[in-house]
C-alpha cells in the first residue's frame, strides 16, 4: 500500500495560541522523536517526559508495539498472520491484536450495514491485476470478486479465525493504521507519558505539543497535494484521513483503492474524508463509511457515530461538522454549505 501524508503535524499557529493557557509542564520535559518505515509510510512518534530514561523506555515499547502490529497485518509479508489467513483460509491461535482488530471491524461492518468490510481484498486483487494489464476489470471480473466478499462469513474467535466461503481474503489497510495509533498511544500512556503525538499514518494525540499548545494537523487538499484545506486543532480525539489520490486505478480517480462492497466499485462522489473519533481504529474505518455514504449523508453518518468529519467532493468543495476546530487562513477557501439531511 502506497501512502501519502494527507494529515501533517503543523506548528507556529500564531493567533491560535490564545486558545490555550501555556503550561510549563511541557517546557520542563525532555522531548524525543522516533521514526521508522511501516505500513508503507514513515511512522513518527514524538513524546515528552521529565525522566529521559522513562521516555526512552516508553518510546522503545511503543515502537515495538507498532512493529509487531505491522508484522501481523502486512499483506506484503508472506509470513504475517493476515497473509497466512488469506493463503490457508484459516488461522489457529491467532495473535490477540488480530482478534481485537477484527472484532472492531466486525462491529463497524454490522453497524454500517456493510459499508465497511475488511473482506474486500478480492476487489483490490481484481483491479490491481487489470491495471497491470493496462485496463480496468470487466464487469464479470468485478462480480466474481464481489461474490467472495462478506464480513459475515469471517468467523473470529481467540482460538481460530476462518473463512466460511471459499477464496475469501482480508485486507486491514482500512483500519490497521488507526488501530496501531491507538495501541502506541496506550503504551506511551502506560509508561507515564502525558504529552505525545503518534503518527502511524493516522494520528493519536496525547496532551500538548512542545509549545504547550494543542496539537495541530494540516489537512491536505487531495486535488493539490502541497496545499492545505485547513488546520485542525486537536481535542484529544484521534484523527484519520482517506483520499482518492492515494492509489488510483484510473487517471480520473473514478476508480481507486476505496471500494463500496455492495457495488464492487469506488464511491463516486467524494475525494477525501477526515474523521475525528475517540478511537483511531474507528476513525480510520469510518472514513470509508463516509465515502460510501457520500456528501448528502455525511452529517447523518457523523451524528449516528457521534464523530466529527470534514469531507471534500470531486469538485474540490468541502464541508465539515461544527465539532471540528478549523483554521482556514493562508488563503484557504471557506467551506461550501451542504444542505442538512
pLDDT in tens, 147-183: 999 999 999 999 999 999 999 999 999 999 999 999 9
- Whether residues 256 and 308 fall in one domain: yes
- Per-residue pLDDT of 84-121, as tens digits, reads 999 999 999 999 999 999 999 999 999 999 999 999 99
Look up the pTM and report it: 0.89
* CA angle (258, 261, 265) in 5-degree steps: 55
* 311: in domain: yes
8 pLDDT tier (thresholds 50, 70, 90): low
Residues with Cβ within 8 Å of residue 92, at least 6 apart in sequence: 159, 160
227 pLDDT tier (thresholds 50, 70, 90): confident
- Averaged over 183-208, what is the pLDDT? 97
Contact predicate 30/48, CB 8 Å: yes
16 pLDDT tier (thresholds 50, 70, 90): very low
Measured between its terminal Cα atoms, the distance across the chain in Å is 35
pLDDT at 18: 31
* CA angle (87, 172, 190) in 5-degree steps: 120
- Whether residues 71 and 197 fall in one domain: yes
- Whether residues 57 and 193 fall in one domain: yes
- Whether residues 90 and 127 fall in one domain: yes
- Per-residue pLDDT of 21-44, as tens digits, reads 334 455 678 999 999 999 888 999
- Whether residues 86 and 144 fall in one domain: yes
Domain that holds residue 114: 81-163
Alpha-carbon 5 to chain mean position = 11
- Beta strand segments in the chain, E: 7-10, 30-38, 41-49, 90-92, 154-156, 160-163, 195-199, 203-206, 216-221, 224-233, 238-243, 270-277, 308-313, 318-320, 325-327
Amino acid at each position: 500500500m502506497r501512502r501519502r501524508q494527507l494529515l501533517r503535524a503543523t506548528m507556529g499557529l500564531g493567533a491560535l495560541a490564545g486558545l490555550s493557557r501555556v503550561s510549563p509542564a511541557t517546557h520542563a520535559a525532555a522531548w524525543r522523536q522516533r521514526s521508522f518505515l511501516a505500513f508503507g509510510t514513515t511512522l513518527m512518534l514524538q513524546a515528552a517526559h521529565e525522566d529521559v530514561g522513562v521516555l526512552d523506555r516508553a518510546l522503545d515499547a511503543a515502537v515495538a508495539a507498532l512493529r509487531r502490529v505491522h508484522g501481523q497485518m502486512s499483506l506484503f509479508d508472506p509470513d504475517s498472520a493476515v497473509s497466512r489467513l488469506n493463503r490457508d483460509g484459516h488461522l489457529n491461535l491467532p495473535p490477540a491484536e488480530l482478534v481485537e482488530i477484527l472484532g472492531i471491524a466486525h462491529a463497524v461492518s454490522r453497524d454500517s450495514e456493510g459499508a465497511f468490510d475488511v473482506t474486500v481484498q478480492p476487489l483490490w486483487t481484481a483491479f490491481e491485476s487489470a491495471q497491470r494489464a493496462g485496463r480496468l476489470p470487466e464487469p464479470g471480473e468485478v462480480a466474481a470478486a464481489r461474490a467472495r466478499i462478506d464480513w459475515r462469513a469471517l468467523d473470529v474467535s481467540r482460538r481460530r479465525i476462518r473463512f466460511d466461503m471459499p477464496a475469501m481474503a482480508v485486507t486491514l489497510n482500512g483500519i490497521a493504521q488507526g488501530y496501531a495509533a491507538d495501541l502506541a498511544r496506550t503504551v506511551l500512556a502506560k509508561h507515564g507519558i502525558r504529552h505525545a503525538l503518534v503518527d502511524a499514518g493516522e494520528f493519536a494525540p496525547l496532551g500538548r505539543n512542545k509549545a504547550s499548545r494543542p496539537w495541530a494537523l494540516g489537512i491536505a487538499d487531495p486535488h493539490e497535494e502541497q496545499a492545505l484545506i485547513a488546520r485542525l486543532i486537536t481535542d484529544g480525539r484521534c484523527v484519520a484521513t482517506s483520499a482518492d489520490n492515494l492509489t488510483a486505478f484510473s487517471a480520473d480517480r473514478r476508480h481507486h483503492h476505496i471500494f463500496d462492497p455492495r457495488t464492487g466499485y469506488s464511491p463516486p462522489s467524494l475525494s477525501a474524508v477526515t474523521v475525528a473519533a475517540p478511537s483511531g481504529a474507528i476513525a480510520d474505518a469510518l472514513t470509508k463509511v463516509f465515502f460510501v455514504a457520500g456528501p448528502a449523508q455525511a452529517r447523518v453518518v457523523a451524528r449516528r457515530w457521534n464523530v466529527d468529519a470534514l469531507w471534500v467532493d470531486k469538485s474540490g468543495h468541502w464541508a465539515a461538522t461544527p465539532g471540528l476546530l478549523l483554521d482556514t487562513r493562508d488563503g484557504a477557501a471557506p467551506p461550501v454549505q451542504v444542505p442538512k439531511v
